[in-house]
């Protein structure tokens, strides 16, 4: 029986090698994905329990050690040759890629036309006269003010948003994005006025969502390592104390994180009951 599917051959092989050290024989079937197959169905409960632990922390040293102990070169896996664009597309769905392209296009436009000019078109509504310009409630997330700013946000968006879209569908990612952009933008406007921008409110929502979803529903395949969520919270603290003198949208970050946690809590309430 097929136990699960993984997108990365190394992850699939690591789990198979680890289970071999536990006396369970698994094999990998390769198609567009890598399917882990169990021949002895009497061992399914043990395998599923170990799979949940593996999904929570697939980079743990125990799995790398198992590959050295039980792995072999005749696994039959075919690794694709390295291709940066192909690797980006492999993790990112249509919505993830569309937002990345839109952010890059807006960033380039800001370099040509100037920040203030583009913000006059896309920034948070400045008053009642702009309230019906509905795109403004969300388009502030496309604005970025430096190369480091856009690279940081797009890397996290690709890493987390791509996983959510691939596992849960573009509808779920779209809802997380809209709600977090709206609420984080509203809170940041209350704190600092309308002259702000960036995808970081949405990114923090994805951080909170992926971490709590992985803790409460590991079988979903959505997770964020605890070390990374700790880093995210540390960065929040640094932002509040203005440790590096950077202009950081602290209110948007905190609001986004809370939105993501709340959405994960709602989405996993049935799992928690079981």
User: Has residue 182 got a pLDDT over 90?
Assistant: yes
Phi-psi sector, 7: left (phi>0), alpha (psi -120 to 50), beta: alpha
Residue 200 bears catalytic tag: yes
Radius of gyration of the chain measured on its C-alpha atoms: 21
User: Has residue 87 got a pLDDT over 70?
Assistant: yes
Domains contained in the chain, CATH given:
2-70 (3.30.70.2350), 90-273 (1.20.1540.10)
Catalytic residue among 140, 144, 149, 253: 253
**192: pLDDT confidence band, cut at 50, 70 and 90?**
confident
Tens digit of each residue's pLDDT (9 = 90 or more) over 205-239: 999 999 999 999 988 888 898 888 998 898 888 87
pLDDT at 80: 55
Catalytic residue among 67, 180, 200, 220: 200
DSSP 3-state of 145: coil
Cα–Cα distance for residue pair 183/115, rounded to 1 Å = 23
pLDDT at 143: 96
Average pLDDT along the chain: 86
Contacts of 241 (CB under 8 A, 6+ apart): none
Interior angle at CA 145, CA 141 and CA 151, nearest 5: 75
**64: pLDDT confidence band, cut at 50, 70 and 90?**
confident
pLDDT at 72: 56
Residue 253 bears catalytic tag: yes
Please state the φ and ψ torsions of residue 67, each to the nearest 5 degrees: -65, -35
Tens digit of each residue's pLDDT (9 = 90 or more) over 146-160: 999 999 999 999 999
Mean per-residue pLDDT, 101-114 = 96
Beta-sheet strand order (sheet of 26-30): 2-6, 34-38, 26-30
pLDDT at 157: 96
Greater model confidence, 87 or 140: 140
pLDDT at 270: 78
pLDDT at 127: 87
User: Has residue 161 got a pLDDT over 80?
Assistant: yes
Counts for the chain of helices (H) and strands (E), in that order: 14, 3
Percentage above 90 pLDDT, the chain? 48
């Amino acid at each position: 029986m097929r136990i699960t599917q993984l997108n990365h051959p190394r992850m699939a092989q690591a789990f198979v090698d680890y289970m071999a050290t536990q006396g369970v024989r698994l094999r990998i079937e390769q198609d567009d994905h890598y399917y882990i197959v169990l021949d002895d169905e009497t061992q399914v409960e043990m395998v599923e329990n170990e799979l949940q632990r593996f999904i929570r922390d697939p980079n743990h040293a125990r799995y790398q050690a198992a590959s050295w102990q039980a792995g072999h070169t005749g696994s039959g896996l075919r690794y694709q040759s390295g291709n940066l664009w192909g690797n980006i597309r492999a993790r990112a769905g249509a919505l993830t890629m569309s937002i990345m392209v839109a952010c890059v296009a807006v960033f380039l436009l800001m370099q040509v036309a100037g920040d203030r000019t583009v913000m006059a078109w896309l920034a948070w509504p400045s008053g009642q006269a702009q309230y019906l310009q509905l795109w403004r409630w969300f388009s502030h997330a496309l604005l970025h003010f430096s190369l480091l700013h856009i690279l940081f946000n797009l890397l996290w968006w690709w890493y987390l948003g791509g996983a959510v879209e691939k596992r849960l569908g573009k509808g779920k990612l779209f809802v997380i994005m809209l709600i977090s952009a709206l609420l984080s933008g509203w809170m940041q406007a209350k704190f600092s006025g309308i002259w702000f921008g960036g995808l970081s409110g949405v990114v923090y929502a994805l951080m909170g969502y992926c971490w709590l979803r992985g803790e409460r529903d590991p079988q979903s395949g959505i997770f964020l390592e605890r070390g990374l969520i700790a880093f995210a919270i540390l960065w929040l603290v640094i932002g509040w104390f203005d440790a590096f003198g950077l202009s950081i949208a602290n209110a948007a970050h905190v609001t986004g994180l809370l939105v993501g946690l709340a959405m994960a809590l709602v989405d996993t309430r049935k799992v928690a009951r079981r």
